[in-house]
Amino acid sequence: MTEHPTRGSGRRPGTSQTREAILDAAMESFTQKGYTTTTVRGVAREAGVDPALVIHFFGTKDGLFDAAVRTRGVPLRRLSEVVPGDPDHLGERLVHRYLTLWEDPETAPRLHAILHAAAASEAAATLVRTFLTEEVLRPIAKTLAADHAETRAILAGSSLIGLAMVRYILKVEALALLPKETVIKAAAPAVQRYLTAPLDLP
């Protein structure tokens, strides 16, 4: 049954559940159809609500994408969970967690959707960049006992994103066919260097 937004100042019944249903439908659409093909009207149809209600909650498709990434793109926040511990093995822990997220059938489609959206739309790229900076890189930077902590976190993040692009998006065989543990051993030292080794930065 179609749900229409009501006028007036009263609280909408089921507002929280309706908003969650819209976000679920949005993340599913961004994952299955991509950012450019997803529409507000299509998300509303899948959520069983009027498109005006989607606009009421999120304003635009960009706003909807931003909210969906922040609430349904939570797996990326799990990277900061591995920061506590021996700093000399931080790179290994980050690469291991990152590859595990990409190879988990539940989280991988969302990560695919986020990277594809960032590549397809400048607006989406801006939203993803803000999300990564605020929710992933900055929390990691705060735990680093080194100079240029935020720049170090960004360099490490760029290395991880490049790894994902080649292994999981482009699927270049030389990297895509390697066992995960082999990739971890090969990539971790570079990430570790960015995080803790002396860097020639101004």
Tens of pLDDT along 167-188? 999 999 999 999 999 999 999 9
Phi first, then psi: give them for residue 171, nearest 5 degrees. Answer: 55, 50
User: How much is the pLDDT for 131?
Assistant: 84
* Domain 15-61, CATH: 1.10.10.60
> Lowest-pLDDT range, 15-29, 109-123, 162-176?
109-123
Confidence of residue 10 (pLDDT cuts 50, 70, 90): very low
> Lowest-pLDDT range, 31-35, 78-82, 158-162, 179-183?
78-82
Q: Which two tokens stand for residue 119?
A: 């590549």
User: How much is the pLDDT for 104?
Assistant: 93
Determine the straight-line distance between the first and last CA of the chain, rounded to whole angstroms: 60
Write down the pTM of the prediction. Answer: 0.80
- CA 43-16-76 angle, to 5 degrees, is 70
User: How much is the pLDDT for 29?
Assistant: 95
- Pick the more confident residue, 11 or 98: 98
User: How much is the pLDDT for 73?
Assistant: 65
Cβ neighbourhood burial of 105 (10 Å; 0-12, 13-18, 19+): exposed
Matching CATH topology for 15-61 and 73-196?
no
Average of pLDDT values for 8-36?
79
Would you tell me the crossing angle of helices 122-132 and 61-72 to the nearest 10 degrees?
30
Q: Which CATH class is domain 73-196?
A: mainly alpha
Q: Which two tokens stand for residue 158?
A: 């760029």
> What ranges do the domains of the chain cover?
15-61, 73-196
- Pick the more confident residue, 32 or 201: 32
User: How much is the pLDDT for 50?
Assistant: 94
Longest dimension (CA), the chain: 62
User: How much is the pLDDT for 1?
Assistant: 44
Residue 84: CA atoms inside 13 Å, Cβ hemisphere, count?
Answer: 2
User: How much is the pLDDT for 146?
Assistant: 85
Confidence of residue 4 (pLDDT cuts 50, 70, 90): very low
User: How much is the pLDDT for 74?
Assistant: 65
